[in-house]
Structure formats: structure tokens, C-alpha cells
Amino acid sequence: MTGAAGFIGSHLCEALLAQGVLVRGLDAFTTFYEPGRKRANIAHLVKDPHFELVEGDLLHARLDAALDGVDAVAHLAGEPGVSTSWGPSFDRYVDRNVMATHRLLEAAVAQGVGRLVYASSSSVYGGEADALRAEGEPRPYSPYGVSKLAAEALVGAYALSHGLSTVSLRYFSVYGPRQRPDMAAHRFIEALLDGRPLEVYGDGSQVRDFTYVGDVVNATVLALSADLPRAAVLDVASGRPTSVGTLIGLLNELVGAGPSAIVQCDERLGDVPRTEGNTRTAHTHLSWSADTSLRTGLQRQVEWHTGLRSRLASDDDLVLMPSAGS
Ligand SMILES: NC(=O)c1ccc[n+]([C@@H]2O[C@H](COP(=O)([O-])OP(=O)(O)OC[C@H]3O[C@@H](n4cnc5c(N)ncnc54)[C@H](O)[C@@H]3O)[C@@H](O)[C@H]2O)c1
């Protein structure tokens, strides 16, 4: 597994270990957000004898050794973030999303890996209202979306030309315990717990197909071994698009801190007004659907935030500040 210490990756490691799978997790502990958070995500996993951590960067690590004996790869490593992908930082998105995937694909072919599942993104789609575009054709709104789409196309090319068995899963706005600190639910819950105003980009009418991390992990586990057409691409979405305003209303109820003040900030360049995944294809080919309701998933996320706060208050060894990593 690449990106094993990340938000989704750490949950996927847990699920596979629970099924008795031996997991080798590779992560570079990049500084997109505090590496200490990533170390905390997998602190319990590194004690498991069935889990092996390889600290390394896909751009430089010895991937022949990392893939030695590996049956299937879940490729979740990447540089996330839509609004941060403009300007000079696009180099980092090309490196960590495109070049890193290219290097992994070359190594996967050389090592005869049986299946590679790539974590793609709803950001490849762009806005649905664009004119002069074939239905469903991706047209990203952001450099991040472009880098995820480029990597997805590379994955497809290695499947079609080299015969590598691949599946690309387009994840939609994943939330739940350990969610990345830049993401909406994480920011809102922390602000509510602190009694700070919530910073909302735009007027809160944006709609997202929020999908619970446990459901995303289930789809990914199924994709690691399912019988699927070559170079398959599937949406992984709950199919219950919800506005940011509704999300805030639910969080207000769940945190129970009373109605929050809202600070309206400028819309972020690259954000689309609406995302809504196609749930039929994953249902047909993986027999999968996202069963967790938004309320239940958010309740679990709120509990994680409050639990982490008490652990930080009582455990001197738990530090989430940046470490000296890259
Ligand atoms: N969270 C979402 O809502 C969402 C939605 C769509 C797609 N995705 C994709 O899913 C994947 C996981 O997302 P996440 O939210 O868990 O992000 P995350 O940042 O928490 O996890 C990504 C992990 O990859 C590692 N990494 C980055 N570049 C690396 C490299 N070159 N070599 C080795 N490790 C590297 C990071 O250190 C991090 O631990 C990403 O590829 C992301 O683009 C996420």
C-alpha cells in the first residue's frame, strides 16, 4: 500500500490486516499536513507483526524491493488539495501524483504485480454544466484534478498496453475519523469544539457527494481482487449529494455547541459547485454501495476529534507538530 499513513490509507491497512492480509505500507510522511498526524494514524499498526512500514518516497525509493512478493498494490500516495495546486506548487503535484505513479507502474510491471488499484478523484470531472463536452467526459477545474486524471490515464495505458490488471477508483469527498485537516468536516468540527466561527468558502450552497471512509475502504478492498474488465474506472460515491450548509447544520447538532457563527470567505479557485457520483457501476461490478449515513459517519468523526483532544491532553508522547521529514 502506498500512502499507508494517510487518512484513507491507514483505514485501508486496518481493514486488510483484520482480514489476515500481510500489508507492506510505504509512505514518505510528506508535509502537506503535519507528519505527526500520519505517525499517529499508524502508531497502532506498526506494532502488528503482519504490518511492515517502509519509509520512503515513491520518487526515489527502491521499488523493486518494496514490491518484492507483493500480489496487489493499493496506490493511495499522492499530493491532495485543490486550492493549493495552482501556481508554482503544480510541480509538486506533477511529481507526487504523475511521476510517482509512473515510477510505480514501471516497477509493478517489472515485478509482475497481479492487481493495482489507483485512488483517483471526483476532481477529474469538473463541473457538469459545461457546454460542448461529451457526457461524463472528465474536464478538471483544477491542476490537482488534472494531475489525478493524468495519473489515471497512465494507469489505463499500462493496463491496455502492458496487460497490468488495474482498477481506478474515483473517490468522492471522503470523511470520517482521521480526516485530513484541510478538509471541510475536519475544519468545521475543530472550530465548533473551540467555539470559533466556521470559515465557509462561498455561500455554503456547494454540493458534495460525501462518502464515509469505511465505505470507501470496503470498495477498495473489493477492487483489489474483483473480476473486472481491463483498465476499469469506477466512481466510489455515496450517491447522496449534500450541501455544505446541510453538513454544517448536522455538525452543529452533533457537536451540540449551539449555533455557530459563520464567516463567509471567497470561493476557492478550482472548486466545483456540485459533485455527484455514479453509484450504479460500482454496485454492478463490486456489489458495493455506501451504507453509512452522513449522520452516523459524522458522529464517528466527531467522536474521533474529541477522543484525540483528550489523548493529546493526557499523553506527552503524542505530538502532531511537523517533524523533520520531507
Ligand atoms: N480524501 C479524499 O476525499 C479524497 C478524494 C479523492 C481522492 N483522494 C485520493 O486518495 C488518496 C489518499 O488521500 P488522503 O485524503 O488519505 O490523503 P493523505 O494526504 O492523508 O494521504 C496520502 C499519503 O501519501 C503520502 N505520500 C504523498 N506523496 C508520496 C510519495 N511520493 N511517496 C510516498 N508517500 C507519499 C503522504 O505522506 C500521505 O501519508 C490520494 O491519492 C488522494 O488524491 C482522496
pLDDT digits (tens, 9 = 90+) for 8-36: 999 999 999 999 999 999 999 999 999 99
User: Does the beta carbon of 76 sit less than 6 angstroms from any atom of ligand 1?
Assistant: yes
Q: Whose CA is nearest to atom 11 of ligand 1?
A: 76
User: Does the beta carbon of 77 sit less than 6 angstroms from any atom of ligand 1?
Assistant: yes
Q: How far is the CA of 34 from the centre of ligand 1 (A)?
A: 13
pLDDT band at 131 (very low <50, low <70, confident <90, very high): low
Phi, psi of 207 (to 5 degrees): -115, 135
Q: How far is the CA of 130 from the centre of ligand 1 (A)?
A: 28
Q: Whose CA is nearest to atom 21 of ligand 1?
A: 6
Atom of ligand 1 nearest to the CA of 75: 41
The mean pLDDT value of the chain amounts to 94
Mean pLDDT (whole number) for 69-97: 97
Q: How far is the CA of 209 from the centre of ligand 1 (A)?
A: 19
Q: Characterize the bridge pairing of strands 207-208 and 242-243.
A: antiparallel
Q: Is the model's pLDDT at 258 over the cut of 90?
A: no
Q: Is the model's pLDDT at 284 over the cut of 90?
A: yes
Q: Is the model's pLDDT at 323 over the cut of 50?
A: no
Atom of ligand 1 nearest to the CA of 144: 43
What pLDDT score does 315 carry?
Answer: 78
Mean pLDDT (whole number) for 293-312: 96
Q: How far is the CA of 259 from the centre of ligand 1 (A)?
A: 33
Provide the 10 A C-beta neighbour count for residue 183: 16
Candidate of 94, 174, 233, 320 to mutate for ligand 1, largest count of ligand atoms within 8 Å of Cβ: 174
pLDDT digits (tens, 9 = 90+) for 165-197: 999 999 999 999 999 999 999 999 999 999 999
Q: Whose CA is nearest to atom 8 of ligand 1?
A: 121
Atom of ligand 1 nearest to the CA of 27: 34
* Interatomic CA distance for residues 22 and 156, integer angstroms: 27
More confident residue, 131 or 74: 74
Candidate of 12, 13, 14, 27 to mutate for ligand 1, largest count of ligand atoms within 8 Å of Cβ: 27
Percent of the chain predicted with pLDDT > 90: 90
Q: Whose CA is nearest to atom 28 of ligand 1?
A: 78
Q: Is the model's pLDDT at 324 over the cut of 50?
A: no
User: Does the beta carbon of 155 sit less than 6 angstroms from any atom of ligand 1?
Assistant: no
Q: How far is the CA of 136 from the centre of ligand 1 (A)?
A: 25
Q: Are 189 and 302 in contact (CB under 8 A)?
A: yes
* Interatomic CA distance for residues 93 and 81, integer angstroms: 9
What pLDDT score does 134 carry?
Answer: 60
User: Does the beta carbon of 30 sit less than 6 angstroms from any atom of ligand 1?
Assistant: yes
What pLDDT score does 129 carry?
Answer: 56
Picking from 246, 249, 255, 265, the residue whose alpha carbon sits closest to that of residue 195 is 255
51 SS3 class: strand
Atom of ligand 1 nearest to the CA of 61: 32
What pLDDT score does 84 carry?
Answer: 96
Q: Is the model's pLDDT at 301 over the cut of 80?
A: yes
Phi, psi of 51 (to 5 degrees): -115, 130
Q: What is the dihedral of CA 290, 291, 292, 293, to 10 degrees?
A: 100
Q: Which residues are catalytic?
A: 144
Q: Is the model's pLDDT at 147 over the cut of 90?
A: yes
